A and B are shown apart, each in its own frame.
Chain A
């Protein structure tokens, strides 16, 4: 395999990516790109981030051999990369720590961010509290209603949460509103985008800050077990935990990579969040990538039981890795994810985030096609505390439904 590079100087990953934003934002993106390129060459910047990731976030996270799950699935050895053990409970903080220090380097002490379920919002609010930055988070009115506790968490952390009722009042509209806010306050504000989406250089910056997941995994596999895995699996919303996990493995051609999207109520319905089911490129939030859209180019709402996967686009680098076939993309449904959520809780005593449960659900299928001598690493992107109430409700409704129909 040739060396994998990307993005190019225009932020393109093959045919995808770029900077499709109003002129008002272009100077800020160019400034960010320059600041980032300089920062990563500064050993002090890197050491500082590494130190916070260690002492504050709790890295490195364990790579755990899930013996019981391996037995239950009856196939290859399954290893869990425990991003759920990070401070704030998910991988999102790897990125927010990095970007917050970048903002400080640029002399910006105000932060804006978007959030869907609230995980990225909480991770942003957390680092802003830590570093004394003023923070505004935009969140869809619909999501605020669904995720009250995360709203309160952000408020506890000193962040102002602003409700977005435009459009469909969910994550994509929160991104629009954060971009609008950024246009208006661009001189003193940095936008901490939460996934590998948006205009260049965001997909690259977020990937690089998340690549700590894959880098650690690779070293841990070699050190603890002496080989690289045969397959690596991660869930894909915008695609940041997956990109961070995959990136260091891209040139290891023998390692198969699997990105798992939310299949919602099923790919045969219009209630899902899988852009790779029927890939259709277009431009949303400043990047050219595959999108859920109608034939007229209007963006459609994504649906998933898991708020973190509920996004009608995907990072442009994933679109590129899909086009080049380096990564395999598949989807699992709400129901499969719920089963996996329960199964991991029961077998390993680990309650996963619903997002990560999608990856586990796919591993169950993949395990059937592999043998005992092989191995799979799964990115357990977050813990399930935030989802427990929702699952309780769903299971109770299901039980009720049963008693009624019987």
Chain B
């Protein structure tokens, strides 16, 4: 469990020469009882890990698709505690690493230490908090380290060299390279800038580099993965689950690996 499991799992897939594919789903979208089914389905599709989003009322890093999914989930009264409970309930039935993604405030309200402890008990292997930059992260990372959970950091196209270096030095699990100047679901621009940026990160990083925000087709996934180790796909997966198009999800993942 934890950081170690995430690292090993990614390494095993890379040893088989696979691109890494990490889908994002919004917990509680369509009801929390769907969570298990969706995670096991994605595991069967061959994904490298699953990002499980916990909804927040003010998701400032997200575009409209994920915002709306969060809103639907909150309407069903999804809470952080309930998501972690659900994850705990079938932790022995899955092998795929789980990464919880949420904003700081629900975690803050729950309690940092309690969050890390409960994540650990629920078989969560990594955590992403997009509104927690380097300057503030000790607040949470101290607790995550204590429970051996990976803190996955985001690096941006706009990050200057010193910040990139610092982020790479601290990265755990994988490095999440944001490929747009914008929110999740923004349209990715195929600038050379993105390719060079990914290649540079890849050269420097000891952990895998995954490109994310705005990836929606297997062509994009393949193109980006040729510059790094794989992709994170959020809005598109959320949209397809909402439309019950699981065949399309399987196809998208299959063609991206």
With A180-B183, A282-B109, A295-B109 already in contact, the answer to whether A18 and B58 are too (CB < 8 A) is: no
Say whether B156 contacts A283, CB under 8 Å.
Answer: no
Interface contact A10-B58, CB-CB below 8 Å? no
**How many Å from the CB of B199 to the closest CB on chain A?**
19
Knowing A24-B156, A24-B178, A27-B159, the reply to whether A297 touches B108 (Cβ < 8 A) is: yes
| Known interface pairs A184-B183, A186-B158; A299-B136 also in contact (CB < 8 Å) | no
Residues on the A chain within 8 Å of B59, using CB: 176
Interface stretch of the complex, out of B7-15, B36-44, B126-134, B204-212? B126-134
Mark out the residues of chain B between 166 and 198 whose CB falls within 8 Å of any chain A CB in the assembled complex. 167, 178, 181-183, 186
Is B58 a contact partner of A183 (Cβ separation < 8 A)? no
Q: Determine how close the nearest CB of chain B comes to the CB of A288; give it in whole angstroms.
A: 8
The answer to whether B132 touches A184 (Cβ under 8 A) is no
| 5 A-B pairs (CB sep. < 8 Å) | A19-B136, A26-B135, A27-B159, A296-B80, A298-B105
Query: CA separation between A299 and B70, bound complex, in Å?
Result: 13
Contact partner of A18 (CB less than 8 A), chosen from B130, B135, B186, is B135
Say whether A10 contacts B109, CB under 8 Å.
no
How far is it, in angstroms, between the C-alpha of A27 and the C-alpha of B133 when the chains are bound? Answer: 11
How close is A173's CB to chain B, nearest CB, in angstroms? 8
Candidates A26, A183, A282, A299; contact of B183 at CB < 8 Å: A183
- For the complex, is B67 an interface residue (Cβ under 8 Å from A)? yes
Asked if B145 is at the interface of the complex by the 8 Å CB criterion, the answer is no
B45 located at the interface, meaning its Cβ lies under 8 Å from any Cβ of chain A in the complex: no
List B50-87 residues whose CB lies under 8 Å from chain A: 56-61, 63-64, 67, 71, 74, 79-81
Given known contacts A18-B135, A184-B183, is B178 in contact with A26 (CB within 8 Å)?
no
Which of B60, B80, B163 has its CB near the most chain A CB atoms (within 10 A)? B60
The residue in chain A whose Cβ has the minimal distance to the Cβ of B110 is: A297
Residues of B within 8 A of A295 (CB): 109
User: Contact check: which of B64, B67, B79, B178 meets A23 at CB < 8 Å?
Assistant: B178
Q: A24-B154, A26-B134, A183-B183 are in contact. List 10 more A-B contacts (CB 8 A).
A: A22-B133, A167-B67, A176-B60, A183-B61, A183-B181, A184-B181, A282-B108, A283-B104, A296-B81, A298-B56
**Is there contact, CB below 8 Å, between A24 and B181?**
yes
Once the chains are docked, how many angstroms separate the CA of A297 from the CA of B108? 7
Q: Which of B106-160 contact A (CB under 8 A)?
A: 106-110, 130-136, 153-160
Q: How far is the CB of B215 from chain A (nearest CB, A)?
A: 16
Count of B residues near A, CB < 8 Å?
Answer: 44
B81 contacts across to A, CB distance below 8 A: 296
- With a cutoff of 8 Å between Cβ atoms, the chain B residues found around residue A183 in the complex are 61, 181-183
How distant is B159 from chain A, measured CB to nearest CB, in Å? 6
Chain A residues near B60 (CB, 8 Å)? 21-22, 176, 179-180, 285-286
The reply to whether A24 and B158 contact each other, CB–CB distance below 8 Å, is yes
Contact A22 B56 (CB under 8 A): no
Contact of B105 among A23, A26, A179, A293 (CB under 8 A): A293
Among the listed B63, B104, B163, which residue makes an inter-chain contact with A26, where contact means beta carbons less than 8 Å apart? Answer: B163
Binding site for A on B (CB under 8 A): 56-61, 63-64, 67, 71, 74, 79-81, 103-110, 130-136, 153-160, 163, 167, 178, 181-183, 186
A166 to B159, CA, bound (A): 28
Contact of A22 among B58, B61, B110 (CB under 8 A): B61
> Which A residues are in CB contact (< 8 Å) with B57?
167, 298-299
Q: Is the CB of A21 within 8 A of B80?
A: no
Q: Which 7 A-B pairs have the closest CB atoms?
A: A297-B109, A297-B106, A184-B182, A24-B156, A297-B105, A298-B57, A299-B57
Q: Which residue of A lies closest to B155 (CB)?
A: A23
Interface of chain A residues 147 through 188 with chain B (CB within 8 A):
166-167, 172-173, 176, 179-180, 183-187
Identify which of residues 8-23 in chain A touch chain B, using a CB-to-CB cut-off of 8 Å.
Answer: 10, 18-23
CB distance from A230 to the nearest CB of B (A): 38
Q: How far is the CB of A171 from chain B (nearest CB, A)?
A: 12
The minimal Cβ–Cβ distance linking B186 to chain A, given in whole angstroms, is 7
Find out whether the CB atom of B110 lies under 8 angstroms from the CB atom of A18: no
A contact residues around B64 at 8 Å (CB): 166
User: Which residues does chain B contribute within 8 Å of A296, judged by CB atoms?
Assistant: 79-81, 106, 109-110
Q: Is A28 an interface residue (CB 8 A)?
A: yes
Which residues of chain A in 286-310 are interfacial with respect to chain B, using CB atoms and an 8 Å cutoff?
A: 286, 291, 293, 295-299
Check B158–A27 contact: CB distance below 8 A: yes
A283 to B153, CA, bound (A): 19
Closest chain A residue to B109, Cβ basis = A297
Instruction: Check if A284 is an interface residue, CB within 8 A of chain B.
Output: yes
The answer to whether B109 touches A19 (Cβ under 8 A) is no
- Chain A residues with Cβ below 8 Å from B110 are 296-297
Q: Given contacts A27-B160, A297-B56, is CB(A19)–CB(B106) below 8 Å?
A: no
Contact A19 B133 (CB under 8 A): yes
CB-defined contacts of B135 to chain A, threshold 8 Å: 10, 18-19, 26
Q: Within the assembled complex, what's the spacing in Å between the Cα atoms of A286 and B131?
A: 7
Closest Cβ of chain B: how far from A172's Cβ, in Å?
Answer: 7
Q: Are A20's CB and B131's CB within 8 A?
A: yes
* Contact A176 B58, beta carbon cutoff 8 Å: yes
Cβ–Cβ < 8 Å partners of B157 in chain A: 24
Contacts of B156 in A (CB 8 A): 22-24, 26-27
A117, chain B: closest CB distance, angstroms: 20
Residues of chain A within 8 A of B167, CB atoms compared: 23
Residue of A nearest to B186 (CB): A184
B205 to chain A, nearest CB (A): 15
In the complex, what distance in Å separates the CA atom of A21 from the CA atom of B134? Answer: 10
